[in-house]
Amino acid sequence: MAEFDYDLFVIGAGSGGVRASRIAASHGAKVAVAEEFRVGGTCVIRGCVPKKLLVYGSHFAEDLADARRFGWDTSGATFDWPTLRDNVAAEVDRLEGLYGQTLGNAKVEVFRERAVVAGPNMVQLASGRTITAANILIATGAWPGQPPIPGAELGITSNEVFHLPALPRRAVIAGAGYIANEFAGIFNELGVEVTLATRGDKMLRSYDQEIVGKLLDISRHKGIDVRLNFPFRAVTRQADGSLLVDGGDAGPIETDLVLWAIGRVPNTKGLGLEAAGIALDGEGAVVVDAYNRTNVPSIYAVGDVTNRVQLTPVAIREGHAFADTVFGNNPRTIDYSAIPTAVFSNPPIAGVGPTEDEARALYPELKVYRSDFRAMKNVLADRPERALYKMLVDGATDRVVGLHLIGPDSAEILQAAAIAVKAGLTKAQFDDTVALHPSMAEELVLMR
């Protein structure tokens, strides 16, 4: 590979790109990565990490209210948005520094500028410099979408929401996925009047709809105005500075902030991929094979830019597998089955395996077990919301094929339980496990 400047050039220093760079370098490759924004990518800089910190911050609203039932005097407690916002930003800065150290320790050269593909073995930097590489990896992630309607530019996306100078009095959150539901919960707990609206007739389509139905009921009980079948027509600025969202026959909504959370599109625009002959699908995603290779043999792609499974842990695994395959003499692929996922809504939901509707089509002898209960903390706090755990079992083999939860700490509980689903454990093996009492997780081994 001596005729090239680098063995590997990575475009994008997000989770997948950083992992691929580090592992390739550990296999002896000469590696460089270009990042036009900040090292760490969406998850670390403007995604799951800062969002989860906002989720934690918003939980104190209910915790402080509940504390009175536990004997605590919380009178006089106040909330200051700039304090939370700035502390979250400082943590993001710290993590970005650590990601940079990781690349530096691995002897990966970092170009902090935009790079585009200029050929099968060539990239061009924004500064004009041309660099050659034996292999190129596209790891540019995805970008928040906006609807093609008049006034869409008056709204913001998840890219900007972490930097609001002040919280709005009212907010319309447009979308039906995890980002929309998570920010609806965050803003609602922080005192914002929230309307959660979507064009469709369902929320969180990829999750078990019985679980989603309970989330919507609880969300509405907490004061979130959830509107389905809301056809966004336009957004206009009113004389007093507020926004008017035109919902056609569904009526208008006056608000102070519109947050577009309608999905994320692969970030391939302007990267030179078409000119290089790289195949894209109808949504602009890079088409790759099981080994993350495009139709151009020297060019690969991992993570959200491929639009396979838009999850940070998946991008990390894809980046690692790519590096092992190309530079570690260890060809391997990723198993996309039984991936646990969560929505950090209020309360959170989590699931692994097919939903009940999907499982009924796959397993003719499907058995469904449920536990509908009120968490002990909620009982003493006099909070009425209930948790729901569902276990899906293939009656022909007794194997647990799916778990779907809504309730406090659902994601924390599901992570360990997902191992059992991935391993193919049976309902009898769950039943044979002694319950850890008192806990919410014990419901997983008590369903009869």
Domain residues of the chain, as ranges? 6-143+265-327, 152-262, 347-445
- Locus of tokens 């043999």: 297
Q: What pLDDT score does 18 carry?
A: 97
CA distance linking residue 47 with residue 42, whole number of Å: 5
Mean pLDDT score, 319-341: 97
In 3D space, the residue among 434, 435, 427 whose CA is nearest the CA of residue 395 turns out to be: 427
Amino acid at 358: E
- Other Cβ atoms less than 10 A from the Cβ of 445: the count is 17
Q: What are phi and psi of 67, to 5 degrees?
A: -60, -30
CA distance linking residue 311 with residue 318, whole number of Å: 11
Structure tokens at 292: 């993350």
Q: What pLDDT score does 386 carry?
A: 97
Q: Which residues of 419-439 are buried (b: 16+ CB within 10 A; e: fewer)?
A: ebbeeebebeebeeeeeeeee
CA distance linking residue 180 with residue 175, whole number of Å: 5
In 3D space, the residue among 413, 421, 444 whose CA is nearest the CA of residue 348 turns out to be: 413
3-state secondary structure of 217: helix
Mean pLDDT score, 231-242: 97
Q: What pLDDT score does 275 carry?
A: 87
Report whether pLDDT(13) > 70: yes
Check if the beta carbon of residue 139 is closer than 8 Å to that of residue 14.
Answer: yes
- pLDDT-based confidence at residue 400 (cuts at 50, 70, 90): very high
CA distance linking residue 413 with residue 299, whole number of Å: 39
Report pLDDT digits (tens) over 18-69. 999 999 999 999 999 999 999 999 899 999 999 999 999 999 999 999 999 9
Q: Is 178 exposed, middle or buried (0-12, 13-18, 19+ CB in 10 A)?
A: buried
Report whether pLDDT(1) > 60: no
Report whether pLDDT(299) > 90: yes
- Locus of tokens 């903390």: 377
Percent of the chain topping pLDDT 90: 98
Q: Is the domain defined by 6-143+265-327 classed in CATH 3.30.70.1520?
A: no
What are the binding residues for FAD?
A: 52, 304
In 3D space, the residue among 323, 266, 261, 265 whose CA is nearest the CA of residue 291 turns out to be: 323
> Which comes out higher in pLDDT, residue 207 or 448?
207
In 3D space, the residue among 102, 22, 8, 107 whose CA is nearest the CA of residue 319 turns out to be: 22
Structure tokens at 17: 């790109």
What are the binding residues?
A: 52, 175-182, 263, 304
Report pLDDT digits (tens) over 306-322. 999 999 999 999 999 99
The structure's pTM equals: 0.94
Instruction: State the catalytic residue, choosing from 163, 221, 320, 437.
Output: 437
- Write out the H or E segment, with its range, that includes residue 75: none
Report the mean per-residue pLDDT for the chain.
96
Would you call 59 a catalytic residue per the annotation?
no
CATH T-level assignment (fold) for domain 152-262? FAD/NAD(P)-binding domain (3.50.50)
DSSP of 150-185: TTGGGSB-TTTGGG-SS--SEEEEE-SSHHHHHHHH
Q: What pLDDT score does 2 carry?
A: 62
Report pLDDT digits (tens) over 179-230. 999 999 999 999 999 999 999 999 999 999 999 999 999 999 999 999 999 9
CA distance linking residue 234 with residue 101, whole number of Å: 45
What is 347-445's CATH number?
A: 3.30.390.30
> Which comes out higher in pLDDT, residue 385 or 2?
385
Mean pLDDT score, 152-166: 96
Q: Do domains 6-143+265-327 and 347-445 have the same CATH topology?
A: no
For 31, 158, 370, 380, 381, the CA distances from 397, given in Å and listed in that order, are 48, 44, 19, 40, 41
- Other Cβ atoms less than 10 A from the Cβ of 64: the count is 14
Structure tokens at 336: 């996309």
- Write out the H or E segment, with its range, that includes residue 370: strand 366-373
- Other Cβ atoms less than 10 A from the Cβ of 144: the count is 22
Percent of the chain topping pLDDT 70: 100
What are the binding residues for NAD(+)?
A: 175-182, 263
